[in-house]
Structure 1
Amino acid sequence: MTPPIAVSRETGERLDAFLALFLRWNARINLVAERDPDTLRQRHIADSLQLLPLLPEGSGPAADLGTGGGFPGLILAIADTARPWHLVESDKRKAAFLLAASAELGLSHLTVHNHRIENTTLPPLALLTARALAPLTLLLAHAARLLSPDGVALFPKGRNAEAELTAAQADWTMQVARFGSRTEPGATILRITGIHRAGP
């Protein structure tokens, strides 16, 4: 399997601190089903970090929808401190964890929004991410509303990525680049730009 993305020593230390905090909270409020630290590193942290090379250049704002326990948005915010990050999570307990992690890790460039996506006000985004949240058609509707005209959407998808794309193309036009997952055989990361409703 391809090695995980290399990060700086400071980022690595913050990721270690995140994992320790995550394990404490996960024992209390069940952020994810996994409890083994090595599994968490591979299945969630490394899986999130593999999006780093696909981020657009610059410092335009980014948002992660349905962040849950921090994946991928909080992990990316730890590694990418050049831009403001917005994490949208409607579950109050998970949002409380995200706020605690942001404070403990000193992530002053990160804002947690404890709202439903449709009730969240965000600036025009350079980047939008979402992992295991919703079918592509629904994600594209959020992206069309939230992204700036040259914004980028990054959506990790499983083995049904092509079927979701086919279904979405009935309602949407877009430019799609596909990248094989480094952590999940058969999975695909969709990097999507130029998102518009299809039709006249």
Structure 2
Amino acid sequence: MDAQGGANDVSRETSEKFEHFANLVRKWNPRINLVAKSTLDELHVRHIADSAQLYALAPKAEHWVDLGSGAGFPGLICAILADEQGVKTSFTLVESDRRKATFLRTAVRELGLTTTRIVADRVESVQLLGADVLSARALADLDALLAYAKPHLKPSGVALFPKGARWKDEVDAARQRWSFRLDHYSSRTHPEAVILKIGEVSHV
């Protein structure tokens, strides 16, 4: 399956927000290492477009939770896209590194994302968030991600996890402890990567 949608089919205003955000990442990166320095010249493909494709796969949501948000990928990018479309989705970005949380708060303020809040705490310590959609990028393997996600997902909620070439191994390992519905979509930015769309998560 192919993931539809991305960062290219957006309004000029949203493109400008993406560029503003990219400039913020470049400005802050030397101080707090938001992304690998080697990827700074490819921010729009490696990080922004890669994150934007998750938004196209998400069902309609009142509350979107992004765990381990780091530099805001994918949560902040999806919040920008929701804002562009006038969608009334509230976003909660969880980031335990307080310097990165400060960066995220700065970005949220400068981009005018009034329905986005930042929680500076460890995932395990956050009160239950009741997510319709939950995302996480490069945070942990799938088994650990499901342990993080399960308490915060509504029973009808969906998790979206970008994964690399070894995603099938992660799925097989996770199924030793978890039962879940799974769809996978080919990444539009990495030839061997996929986005896992997971629901109905329960312990085996």
The TM-score normalised by the length of structure 1 is 0.93
The equivalent of 2:99 in structure 1 is 93
Cα distance between partner residues in 2 of 1:140 and 1:36: 28
What amino acid sits opposite 2:22 in the alignment?
A: L
* Equivalent-residue separation in structure 1 for 2:197 and 2:5 (angstroms): 21
Partner of 2:57: 54
Worse overlay, 34-43 or 107-116? 34-43
Contact 2:133/2:153 (<8 A) preserved: yes
Structure 1: tracts of 5 or more residues without a match = none
- Following the alignment from structure 1 to structure 2, what is the Cα–Cα distance between the partners of residues 143 and 95? 20
Matched, 1:149 2:151: no
Structure 1 residues 36 and 156, CA gap change in structure 2 (3 angstroms): closer
Q: 1:69 aligns with which of 65, 68, 71?
A: 71
Give the unaligned 5+ runs of structure 2: none
Q: CA deviation at 1:28?
A: 2.4
Return the match for 1:179 from 185, 193, 196: 185
| Distance across 1 between alignment mates of 2:5 and 2:92 | 28
Name the CA distance, whole Å, in 1 between partners of 2:31 and 2:37: 13
CA distance in 2, matches of 1:40, 1:161: 23
Q: TM-score, normalised by structure 2?
A: 0.91
Separation (CA, whole Å) in 2 of partners of 1:128 and 1:31: 21
2:118 alignment counterpart: 112
2:166 aligned residue: 160
The answer on 1:8 being equivalent to 2:11 is: yes
Per-residue deviation, 1:35: 5.7
1:78 maps onto 2:80 in alignment: yes
Runs of at least 4 residues off by over 6 Å: none
Paired residues, number: 196
Cα deviations across residues 147-169 of structure 1 (Å, max 9, x unaligned)? 11110000000011000000011
Q: RMSD in angstroms over aligned alpha carbons? A: 1.6
Q: For the residues of structure 2 that align with 1:118 and 1:111, how far apart are their CA atoms? A: 18
1:38 Cα deviation from its structure 2 partner = 4.1
